[in-house]
Copies of this chain bind each other. A is one copy, B any other.
Amino acid sequence: MREQYLSKLFNPESIAVIGASKKPEKVGYAIVKNLLECGYPGKIYPINPREEQILGLRCYKTVSELLSSKEKGDPVGIDLAVIAIPASRVLEAVKECAGNNINLVIVITAGFKETGPEGLELEKKLTAFCHEHKIRLLGPNCVGVLHTHTPINASFSRGFPQKGHISFISQSGAMLVSIIDWSKTAGLGFSHFVSLGNKADLNEIDFLEYSGWDPTTRVILCYLEEIADGPKFLETASRISTRKPIIVLKAGSSPAGARAATSHTGALAGSDSAYNAAFKQSAVLRAENMEELFDMAFAFANQPLPQGNRIAVVTNSGGPGILTTDCIEKMGLHMARFTAETSQQLRTFLPPEASIYNPVDVLADAPAERYRFALEKALSDPQVDGVIVLLCPTATTDPREIAHSILEIRKELPEKPLLSVFIGGKEIQEAQNILREGRIPCYTFPERAVAAMAGMVRYYRNSAALREKTELLKKTAKKAQREPEPHCPVYNTAQVKATFYDALRERRVVLLGHEGIKVLSAFKIPVAPIKLAKDAEEAARIAEEVGFPVVLKIASPKILHKTDIGGVVVGLENGREVKRHFEEIMHRVQRFVPDAPFYGIEVQKMMPAGMEIIIGSSYDIQFGHLLAFGLGGIYVNLFQDFSLRLTQNLEESDIDEMIKETKAYRLLRGFRGSNPLDIQSLKDTLLKAAHLVTTFPEIRELDINPLLVYEKGVCAVDVKITLSHNLVDDVHPVGEREEQLIEQFAERRS
């Protein structure tokens, strides 16, 4: 297998421990000890100017001394330096590494960015140096790395995990140490652990790449507080998750949690809904909490994926069987219906009081062979995608025997996932160990097993859909190379630029209603015609042009609640009415808000009633533009019925999905006897809105509300477009600088 650029971090031939120590309370002692105890097969070189020997190893004063005094058989260079000396001296040590051709370092030392401005300055210098000298750096402020297959423990963790196939990338060092400790009790094995620390250079994306490559890793776990580069994460995770499951526990999902995370890492995190959209679009599983993260890890690392959501349950006790059934239904799985053949075979072999339907109750006195038979039938049934086996240690149960027969049947029928739940303590401990050693995940309570199974089903589906999308994209790309797309809509970007220019010249970042509509129609989105009138005569003329009835709306960026001051009049049927109401609105505006800048009054054709939909977009600092779709009207805020996606890599299949996951979809399809509405036009509009914001990333917010959806066609009635504040300079008065900015902008977009 080809080498990966981080292979040397997990499998170096030689390691220099800079700051190695003889004092057991020192981190530099723990690292050398961990390297020795884990059985690391490479060379370990402690570096400490004040010691001769550390833990039986010869100690060198400096890296230079080490390299000049190499012994016979020693490797030519040093693959990795682990640094654990005070923060103030770290840069110096890294410089020495650079001077000796060491281009991979782990900085364990804390006292950088996380401590305040001084530390931040120190970290910036360190990062800049590494960048300049092409040194890859993990940390600072991290616990280190471990790999159980090398084996290597280049960290100051307590203890070393069991060998296994799970990788864990953690932004929290303490959590990593805790989990190593916990995993040994829980019987969970790992391939490798990474403590990310401050992510000055290497970050989660590098380690996703490594875990994706690492042949010993089957499932990738991440604990993250923020993501360094949203778009790159989406690209990388999408590529890897079609092959290996990635499960992320993202902290800061609540507003209070996000505040706590920001104060902890000092990093700006994007909105939680943007993370959710990113995970959805890259088939990354998001764990709800720590317990779920590891429950899923157990199952993914040891069991095949279910090909569907039909689950069978085999139990020796009714109660837990029913509770498992409840969980299965609640978590979106289904209780499998056995084929007639399975039911009949169960009926023939099981005692008459046993339940032969799903959940199969093999009764409290079930011996191992009865379990074995029921499991064999359940696993062989073509209408079953996965099996959960439950056991309560009743007076006549032999949990060990049953555990063995579960392992046997697993070997005979290895295709479908099989999870076990043994409820108890001492009485089932041995059985639990037998199962875990035989790679059957064993949980204590049913809901944990069901959550894990549900995660597997979700991943199976999402990754399959993503693979399909990726294939399709490749084909389309190839086809596009051969023949240019003939039907690609031609957008009038010049009109958009001109509209933005007009607003910016007036130092407005919020467009007026008719300007927004102009932008939409430049992107071929059907709109209700609207124009700005400066006087009553012009208003009447426009009304004739757009067609009656019309609505008049005061146009002023400073008047937000137009209705409150009587700035909106609807249902005008002729020119006379238009003129009269124009004057009346003017009168009211002059009376109530004499200071508001006045642009005129907008005249818009009134559209027939339709279903009200909202299409929106907002800009996330981490992931770029998000596209939103949801039910309009007063119900928007009441029911929060909307779906979100990142515009990055957005395809028609995503748009399809985002419509279908709202309740509004049921109304669109035709609800309780009404005719179905024009979903195709709605999809087109969503795609065009996505194109608009990706073509013009300076759009910070877009809010089409409402978009009316008809049986045939759609129509945007109102839209609010907000541009980036960076485009105008709010602090300085209008002057040279602003003109310059606007010129630059106009130039850039032309």
A contact residues vs B (CB 8 Å cutoff): 25, 27, 30, 114-116, 156-159, 170-175, 177-179, 181-186, 223, 225, 249, 251-257, 260-261, 263-265, 288-291, 316-323, 325-330, 334-335, 353, 355, 357, 359, 361, 364, 392-396, 423-429, 444-448, 634-635, 637-639, 641, 663, 666-667, 671-672
Contact = CB atoms under 8 A, between A and B. Distances in A.
Given A182-B425, A319-B174, A447 B326 contact: no
A25 B396 CA distance: 8
B185 A328 contact: no
Contacts of A394: 173-174, 177
Nearest to A115: B353
Contacts of A355: 260, 263-264
B637 A672 contact: yes
Contacts of A223: 319
A326 B446 CA distance: 25
Nearest to A252: B322
Contacts of A641: 639
A706 B403 CA distance: 59
Given A256-B325, A289-B447, A637-B672, 7 more contacts: A116-B353, A172-B320, A174-B317, A257-B326, A289-B445, A289-B446, A290-B445
A185 B395 contact: no
Given A177-B392, A261-B322, A426 B637 contact: no
26 contacts: A25-B396, A27-B395, A114-B353, A116-B353, A156-B395, A157-B395, A158-B427, A173-B317, A174-B392, A178-B424, A184-B426, A185-B425, A251-B322, A254-B329, A256-B334, A257-B325, A257-B326, A260-B359, A261-B318, A263-B355, A263-B357, A289-B323, A635-B635, A638-B663, A638-B671, A639-B641
Given A252-B322, A322-B251, A361-B264, A426 B185 contact: yes
A251, A265, A634, A641 pick with most chain B CB within 10 angstroms: A251
Contacts of A426: 159, 181, 184-185
Nearest to A253: B326
A265 B355 CA distance: 12
Given A181-B428, A319-B251, A175 B423 contact: yes
A185 B428 CA distance: 11
Contacts of A115: 353
B174 A320 contact: yes
A319 B175 contact: yes
A453 to B, nearest CB: 14
Given A183-B425, A395-B156, A290 B447 contact: yes
B289 A425 contact: no
B445 A393 contact: no
B330 A254 contact: yes
A605 to B, nearest CB: 25
